[in-house]
Amino acid sequence: MTRNYLILFLLLFSSQSFAQYMVKGKVTDSSTGDPIPFASVLLKGTSVGISTDFEGNYSIKARTLTDSIMVSYLGYISAVKALQKDTEQTINFQLKPSDFEMETFVFTAGENPAFEIIRQAVGRKKDFDKRELKAYQTKNYTKIEIDIDHVSEDFSNRKSVQKITAILDSIKQLTNDEGEKILPVFFSETLSKFYFRTNPELRKEVVEKSKVTGVGITDGSTTSQITGSAFQEYNFYKNWLSIVGKEFVSPIADGWKQFYDYDLVDSVLVGNDSCYLLKVYPLREQDLAFTGTIWINKETYGLKQVDLTIPKEANLNFIERIKIQQEMVPTSAGPLIPSKTRVQIKIGQITPKTAGLLAKFYTSADSIQVGEPRPTSFFNQSVILMPDFDEASEEFWKDNRQDILTQEEIAVLKMVDTLKRIPIIRFYSEGLKFFGTGYLPIGKVDIGPWPGFFNYNDIEGVRLGMGFRTNIKFSNKWALSGYAGYGFKDTELKYTAKVTRILDRTHWTSVSLYTQKEIDQVGLEISSLEGNSVFLAASRFGTLRRPYFSRKHQIDFQREFFKGFLMYSDLTYMNFGPLYNFYYLEKGTGDYKSTFETTEAKIGLRYGRDEMILINDNQRESLGPLRWPIFDLSYAKGMDWLGGDISYSKLNFYIYQRLNVGMFGVSRYEFDAGKVFGEVPYPVLKNHLGNETFFYTSAAFNTMNFNEFASDQYASLRYRHYFEGFLLNKVPLLKKLKWRAVANANILFGSVSDKNRANAPTTDPMGSPLETFGRLDPRKPYVELGYGIENIFKFLRVDFFHRMTYLDNPGAKPFAVKISGQIIL
């Protein structure tokens, strides 16, 4: 009996002696509500502590408790809270961001110890870069939230805004820790499979399920293509990361010492791996570089996790902060793949009377598989939506989310759902879309484009017009569009009409019929300037240059055979009816003629190895190439039968590429070469595009006059370079303005055959002088060089161009200043 009491006493004593306390909780950002991973949580006055996980959670077990618990993390103000003597308790923290100030570190002797760690990490990049894998695939979950924040008092006092807040009074208001209201306007969730292959570098995302709710969102299929993980790729093993269209240098880039300083803070345990913890600092605060913390595996020198920020001092517009948090896991082959990525982009108030914007992106990946690459044909379409992608119950999402929604996110969903039903919100959101796209959706039809509603020029006087196009609600196989305009001076009706049959949306295949009666200008045709809306509008107001009535009928066909390889063809009949004094000499007879008809058959091939393509409604749209150039080769045959008067051939070759040149910025070039075979009137030649407007355009030679030169064989190179902050970031008085230098070089070689010169008379049948075309000397190129400043007052760009050759031509301008408005980050 005594023995039993003794055992019981020992058990009770033991349980009291080894009794554990548990303190758990979550650490979040007070301004965004998002988790803060990797924060240090410590029982104050002890060495007992832990780091928060990727979701900001922590859990500490201790034999004894102190009176308080402390949380600290780089870029935030540390916080301390009191502890109770409870066995288990939950203590949550909301940390306030602090202004980052680069610290000064003094090393007594030798090299900074962090440098050798970075040197080893850079030297072993190939061991861990996922691009070293032949192929891999993952199953991803992505969620995106966009909120309006920093709502100013002036903004809140607007009548339209007060109407919104009055309706939202019944919903729990979302606020940050400082009491500022956050107004959610968009939330999406996407479940997808992501596929990658290295050679050639191709990506594909199959969206299995997607749920999108947002103010002004009417077409879930288009939005769902860009809310998956394909657009949330951040690989720090690249030297440069493309974020919001800018190139940011990685902390483990090959040239790291030119951009960064480092501080070795500690050696810590992350999971089962012992890691070096390093703080990262940009050498120049204006550079597009990161500040923050990185963890490097002590044994392998592979990245374990990162928490990096691009501060507001960087040479960016509107953006106050970009924050990227990422943790990586090794694949079976060794290279690392991000298992979780969180990105925050905070956009400040453009003016004191407006609001700011906060965008949050989260992606988690599991079921990682490494294997042999799938065939290139598998990657034909970059993003594919499964047929039932938008058909899933809330129960399905609860069962299949890789991470559950927080209470705050559930409140966000409710608020967005309420907001998009408010009439004034719908009015403003539709108005913004109308301004941006040119079209106003009304049911199954879009009305527009608004730039065609009103025009004024010397031929038509006041011109009024209206058009429409059907959208995907009408049909995903048929697309109809039309436009009609009337000039009150020439009393002529102009019109266009088009019907398109989409035969295959996977291997994009379509056939179209098109008819048009319109006023065009030689060398300034609407069809070639549709992507330059400001320049096109400016060139069609006032005095028209060599205008003509174009009556056109066309049938065209296109098909994408495999990833990036598109074949297109068309058959076009066109009537040229000049509205200015024009004549040419007919081949064979030598008679004067002022009108002509052409019947032209064209076939072309386009190849973009890594071009990103989206299917927007019933249109195929390019997001441009990632790395490789886009090639376009076409051949056209003009036939003097089927209504045509002229026989000729045209051959054209075009290349476009975007080049990242590291610390020096980004370049873009366009090479265009071609030849016209046969004797033709000069409107059929290549009429090189000049620019007599005040507006800059990359499509034209900006010191060349309209219709100054035409060629039947030519080759041109237009090169544009954006220095970003490379030059002006180093000038003390200018770097605070965040101006950015730009440069241009445009070169053109061309010539005209003797036969085509001969069929262009200098006088009409009555002996009056005719406007003719200028000719380039094949041994003397047209050259113009330019330089300029962009980002003036965040919206303005000014370019200065010097014309280097053909300065003796009538009306030649040796120097030109062009302006343009832009919204760039």
3-state secondary structure of 170: coil
Residue 456 lies in a domain: no
- Model confidence band, residue 458 (pLDDT cutoffs 50, 70, 90): very high
Rg of the chain over CA atoms, in angstroms? 32
Residue 639 clears pLDDT 90, i.e. is over it: yes
DSSP 8-state secondary structure symbol assigned to residue 448: -
Going by their DSSP bridges, the two strands 619-625 and 611-616 should be labelled as antiparallel
Report the distance separating Cα 585 and Cα 665, nearest Å. 51
Residue 456 clears pLDDT 50, i.e. is over it: yes
* Contact of 592 with 583, CB cutoff 8 Å: yes
Report the distance separating Cα 632 and Cα 749, nearest Å. 20
pLDDT at 11: 41
Question: Domain boundary residue among 426, 448, 479?
Answer: 426
Which residues, listed in sequence order, are joined to residue 196 by a DSSP beta bridge? 136, 203
Q: Are residues 80 and 129 in the same domain?
A: no
* Contact of 606 with 566, CB cutoff 8 Å: yes
Q: Are residues 194 and 82 in the same domain?
A: no
Q: Is 588 left (phi over 0), alpha (psi -120 to 50) or beta?
A: left
pLDDT at 710: 92
Containing domain of residue 803, as a range? 581-821
- Model confidence band, residue 165 (pLDDT cutoffs 50, 70, 90): low
Residue 222 clears pLDDT 70, i.e. is over it: no
3-state secondary structure of 433: helix
Q: Are residues 134 and 44 in the same domain?
A: no
Q: Are residues 51 and 184 in the same domain?
A: no
* Contact of 205 with 194, CB cutoff 8 Å: yes
Report the distance separating Cα 130 and Cα 137, nearest Å. 11
3-state secondary structure of 689: coil
Report the b/e string of 308-318 with b at 16+ CB within 10 A. Answer: bbbbbbbbbbb
Contacts made by residues 640-644, CB under 8 angstroms, sequence distance 24+: 640/599, 641/599, 642/573, 642/599, 643/573, 643/597, 643/599, 644/573, 644/597, 644/598, 644/599, 644/600
State which H helix or E strand residue 778 sits in: none
DSSP 8-state secondary structure symbol assigned to residue 232: -
Contacts of 164 (CB under 8 A, 6+ apart): 183, 419, 422, 424, 425
Residue 311 clears pLDDT 80, i.e. is over it: no
pLDDT at 649: 96
- Model confidence band, residue 158 (pLDDT cutoffs 50, 70, 90): low
Report the distance separating Cα 794 and Cα 797, nearest Å. 9
Give residue-wise pLDDT tens across range 481-516.
Answer: 999 999 999 999 999 999 999 998 878 899 999 999
Question: Cis bond leading into 338, ω under 30°?
Answer: no
Residue 624 lies in a domain: yes
Q: Are residues 64 and 143 in the same domain?
A: no
Q: Are residues 617 and 721 in the same domain?
A: yes
* Contact of 439 with 449, CB cutoff 8 Å: yes
Residue 125 lies in a domain: yes
| Largest Cα span, the chain | 137
pLDDT at 352: 61
Cα-Cα-Cα-Cα dihedral sign, residues 470, 472, 474, 477: positive
Contacts of 20 (CB under 8 A, 6+ apart): 61, 62, 63, 87
- Model confidence band, residue 233 (pLDDT cutoffs 50, 70, 90): confident
Residue 237 clears pLDDT 70, i.e. is over it: yes
CB atoms within 10 A of CB 20: 11
Report the distance separating Cα 561 and Cα 779, nearest Å. 41
DSSP symbols for 624-664: EESSSPEEEEEEEEEESSTT----EEEEEEEEEEEEE-GGG
* Contact of 212 with 227, CB cutoff 8 Å: yes
For the ranges 168-177, 302-311, 330-339, 533-542, which has the lowest average pLDDT? 168-177
Report the distance separating Cα 763 and Cα 622, nearest Å. 46
Which residues, listed in sequence order, are joined to residue 360 by a DSSP beta bridge? 145, 344
Residue type, 307: D
Could you give the count of Cα atoms lying within 13 Å of 117 in the half-sphere of its Cβ? 25
Could you give the count of Cα atoms lying within 13 Å of 686 in the half-sphere of its Cβ? 25
Report the distance separating Cα 324 and Cα 306, nearest Å. 8
DSSP 8-state secondary structure symbol assigned to residue 32: T
- Model confidence band, residue 350 (pLDDT cutoffs 50, 70, 90): low
| Planar angle of CA 499, 644, 586, nearest 5 degrees | 145
Residue 572 lies in a domain: no
Question: Domain boundary residue among 395, 426, 457?
Answer: 426
Q: How far is CA 517 from CA 44, 136, 466, 495, 496, in A?
A: 80, 52, 15, 5, 6
Q: Are residues 89 and 118 in the same domain?
A: no
Q: Are residues 231 and 282 in the same domain?
A: yes
Residue 81 lies in a domain: yes
Residue 548 clears pLDDT 50, i.e. is over it: yes
State which H helix or E strand residue 243 sits in: strand 240-243
Helical ranges in 404-451 per DSSP H: 407-419, 423-437
Q: How far is CA 654 from CA 348, 442, 480, 564, 674, in A?
A: 40, 39, 30, 15, 9
φ/ψ of 432, rounded to 5, equals -65, -40
Q: Is 758 left (phi over 0), alpha (psi -120 to 50) or beta?
A: alpha
Residue 122 clears pLDDT 50, i.e. is over it: yes
3-state helix, strand, coil in the chain (%, to 5): 15, 45, 40
* 326: exposed, middle or buried (Cβ count in 10 Å: 0-12, 13-18, 19+): buried
The count of structural domains within the chain is 3
Mean pLDDT of the chain: 83
Q: Are residues 735 and 628 in the same domain?
A: yes
Give residue-wise pLDDT tens across range 672-706.
Answer: 999 999 999 999 999 998 988 888 888 889 999 98
Going by their DSSP bridges, the two strands 782-792 and 202-214 should be labelled as unpaired
Q: Bigger pLDDT: 405 or 306?
A: 306
Residue 172 clears pLDDT 50, i.e. is over it: no
Residue 471 lies in a domain: no
Question: Domain boundary residue among 36, 60, 95?
Answer: 95
Residue 150 clears pLDDT 70, i.e. is over it: no
DSSP symbols for 285-338: TTSSB-EEEEEEETTT--EEEEEEEE-TTSS-SSEEEEEEEEEEEE-TTS-EEE
Which residue has tokens 């480092």?
262
Which three-class secondary structure string do you get for 100-146?
CCCCCCCCCCCCCHHHHHHHHHHHCHHHHCHHHCCEEEEEEEEEEEE
**CATH number of the domain within which 69 lies:** 2.60.40.1120
Report the distance separating Cα 631 and Cα 654, nearest Å. 6
Residue 52 lies in a domain: yes
Q: Are residues 117 and 262 in the same domain?
A: yes
Which residue has tokens 């009291």?
16
Average pLDDT of the segment spanning 92-115: 68
Q: Are residues 291 and 393 in the same domain?
A: yes
Q: Are residues 31 and 131 in the same domain?
A: no
φ/ψ of 427, rounded to 5, equals -60, -50
Give residue-wise pLDDT tens across range 405-452.
Answer: 777 777 777 767 666 666 656 666 667 677 767 788 888 999 988 888
Extract the tokens encoding 621: 């749209």
Q: How far is CA 88 from CA 21, 53, 65, 83, 788, in A?
A: 6, 19, 11, 10, 64
